[in-house]
């Protein structure tokens, strides 16, 4: 099975958010440290659809999983 390389911009667009670099940086700054101790998809700032996509991407080790992990790290670093 061939995997597809996605970008962080594409992940944000997949989540229904702006994929522009400045908007991504602003999102990270706004939500950094607000993930808590739980899984990324459990953070209160995601809507149901976003949370489901994040959870499913990791559970299925989908093409998006590496970027979801990267986003998780970015949001947990203070």
Closest CA to 10 of 68, 60, 59, 56: 68
Structure-token pair, residue 17: 């958010």
Q: What is the pLDDT of residue 17?
A: 97
Enumerate the H helices of the chain as residue ranges.
Answer: 8-14, 21-31, 48-59, 65-76
Q: Which domain holds residue 41?
A: 8-76
3-state class of 64 per DSSP?
coil
Cα(first)–Cα(last) distance of the chain, in Å? 37
Q: What is the domain count for the chain?
A: 1
Q: pLDDT tens-digit profile of 37-75?
A: 889 999 999 999 999 999 999 998 888 999 999 999 999
In angstroms, the CA 33 to CA 1 distance is 36
Domain assignment of residue 2, yes or no: no
Kindly report the CATH number assigned to the domain that includes residue 30. 1.10.10.1130
């Amino acid at each position: 099975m061939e995997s597809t390389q996605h970008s962080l911009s594409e992940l944000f667009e997949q989540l229904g958010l702006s994929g522009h670099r400045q908007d991504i940086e602003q999102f990270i700054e706004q939500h950094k440290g607000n993930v808590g101790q739980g899984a990324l998809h459990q953070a209160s700032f995601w809507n149901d659809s976003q949370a489901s996509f994040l959870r499913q991407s990791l559970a299925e080790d989908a093409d998006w999983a590496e970027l979801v992990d990267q986003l998780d790290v970015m949001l947990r670093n203070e």
